[in-house]
């Protein structure tokens, strides 16, 4: 049963007018059409930045080659989807060039010694965002804001703004992007409410190495997804650590303050995460897999319909059932190799029933004091979240994605 509207349903007038104008410009030669050729993308990034040095490109280029093949032959991108894909790749390439330039001018960044982070590890839709944002209420921790996570390398304009006390231009840019995406499909904000200054996950840091769930969740690229599952992603986590150091330096944050990190990608790359952050405290979150798969598939479908006119919800259901089962399998295996004192478990249902009690357990695990002031801040965040965030309007049905409860439980036993 498929009770979801066709992808072409998500085409508001302003998007149609914008695309009509772009098609005219492409046809007339006034603008080049979206190009997904690796060499030409590289040349455009270098020309726009005036930079050419990007050390450590080997891993990136291998990822890029597989991704470009999948975008061309599997993703079934619309013209708008190709435009977004090109823009995303150019953004990453430019930021990598800018990153190398900043490090060359400020070698002290790499010498920063960051405190071991606290990492929340759990499937999509298991409450990882809520837990991350609750912990970020504690001023003794530090966390990425969405504008930093989605644009992890400050542009020259951002560097100038910092030195002159003006607002970071990445904030306004992120706000514009969120508005535009919500204007195309408001359900995205219902599924994952956020804003430029909201605490959010480090997917954008992993995307700098062309890995991470954000790529797979936006486009149908199964060849690329299987490649990432089988390849050692340690180089991506090395790069992520360096980006965290860059952020610490840029914001003048105390490196002794632990980062609160989280993304479902860590489940399948847990070995790489532990290798780069061997002393990280790991909080494993659990939720009923039937609810997790259904909610995750709904989020993915709402993102894919923006970039493709041909989106198969049954394929999404099968793919996200596989992803969830695969990540749980890898997590169970790798956890056996990590010291027990670095791990604890919590559940979605436990957080729903008694989030304060869960936070007390977590703070005991972290050997930190949960003060009344921190609890007050957390309570305020919870109240604001319930009042202003649209997550309670996120509606989905497992059957919409061609799945049944028995099929999910057969693949992901309790």
CA dihedral (78, 81, 87, 92) positive or negative: negative
Pairwise pLDDT comparison (339 vs 191), residue with the higher score = 339
Portion of the chain with pLDDT greater than 70, in percent:
94
pTM above 0.75, yes or no: yes
Residue 306 in any domain: the answer is yes
- Is pLDDT above 60 for 328? yes
Residue 2 in any domain: the answer is no
Residue 282 in any domain: the answer is yes
How many domains are there within the chain?
Answer: 1
Residue 55 in any domain: the answer is yes
Residue 281 in any domain: the answer is yes
Compute the distance between CA of residue 78 and CA of residue 17 in angstroms, rounded to an integer. 15
Range of the domain at 65: 7-411
- pLDDT score at 386: 72
Which H helix or E strand runs over 119? strand 118-121
CA dihedral (269, 274, 276, 277) positive or negative: positive
Nearest to 57 by CA among 166, 210, 170: 210
Residue 210 in any domain: the answer is yes
Residue 1 in any domain: the answer is no
Give the single-character DSSP code of 400: G
CATH number for the domain harbouring residue 20: 3.40.50.300
- pLDDT score at 387: 61
Residue 74 in any domain: the answer is yes
Compute the distance between CA of residue 340 and CA of residue 178 in angstroms, rounded to an integer. 40
- Least-confidence region, from 256-260, 282-286, 287-291: 287-291
- Least-confidence region, from 42-56, 163-177, 254-268, 384-398: 384-398
């Amino acid at each position: 049963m498929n009770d979801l509207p066709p992808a072409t349903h998500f085409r508001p007038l302003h998007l149609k007018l914008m695309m009509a104008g772009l098609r005219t410009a492409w046809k007339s030669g006034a603008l080049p059409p979206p190009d997904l050729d690796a060499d030409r993308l590289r040349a455009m990034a270098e020309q726009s930045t005036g930079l050419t040095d990007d050390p450590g490109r080997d891993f990136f280029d291998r990822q890029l080659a597989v991704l470009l093949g999948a975008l061309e032959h599997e993703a079934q991108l619309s013209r708008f989807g190709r435009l977004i894909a090109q823009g995303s790749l150019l953004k990453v390439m430019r930021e990598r060039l800018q990153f190398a330039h900043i490090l060359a001018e400020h070698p002290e960044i790499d010498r920063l010694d960051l405190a071991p982070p606290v990492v929340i590890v759990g499937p999509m839709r298991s409450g990882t965002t809520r837990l991350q944002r609750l912990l970020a209420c504690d001023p003794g921790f530090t966390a990425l804001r969405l504008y930093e996570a989605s644009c992890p390398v400050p542009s020259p304009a951002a560097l100038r703004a910092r030195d002159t006390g003006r607002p970071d231009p990445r904030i306004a840019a992120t706000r514009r992007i969120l508005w535009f995406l919500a204007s195309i499909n408001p359900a995205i904000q219902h599924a994952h409410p956020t804003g430029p200054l909201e605490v959010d996950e480090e997917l954008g840091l992993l995307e700098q190495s062309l890995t991470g769930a954000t790529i797979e969740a936006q486009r149908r690229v199964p060849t690329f997804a299987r490649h990432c599952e089988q390849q050692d992603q340690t180089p991506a986590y090395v790069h992520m650590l360096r980006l965290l150091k860059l952020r610490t330096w840029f914001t003048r944050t105390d490196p002794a303050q632990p980062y609160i990190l989280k993304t479902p990608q860590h489940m399948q790359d847990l070995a790489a995460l532990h290798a780069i952050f061997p002393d990280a405290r790991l909080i494993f979150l659990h939720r009923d897999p039937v609810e997790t798969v259904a909610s995750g598939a709904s989020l993915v479908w709402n993102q894919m319909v923006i970039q493709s006119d041909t989106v198969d919800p049954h394929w999404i259901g099968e793919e996200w059932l596989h992803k969830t089962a695969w990540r749980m399998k890898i997590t169970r295996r790798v956890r056996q190799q990590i010291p027990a004192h670095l791990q604890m478990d919590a559940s979605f249902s436990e957080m729903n029933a008694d989030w304060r009690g869960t936070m007390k357990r977590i703070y005991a695990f972290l050997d930190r004091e949960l003060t009344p002031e921190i609890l007050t801040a957390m309570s305020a965040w919870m109240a604001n979240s319930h009042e202003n965030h649209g997550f309670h309007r996120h509606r989905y049905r497992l059957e919409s994605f061609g799945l049944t409860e028995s099929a999910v439980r057969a693949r992901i036993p309790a």
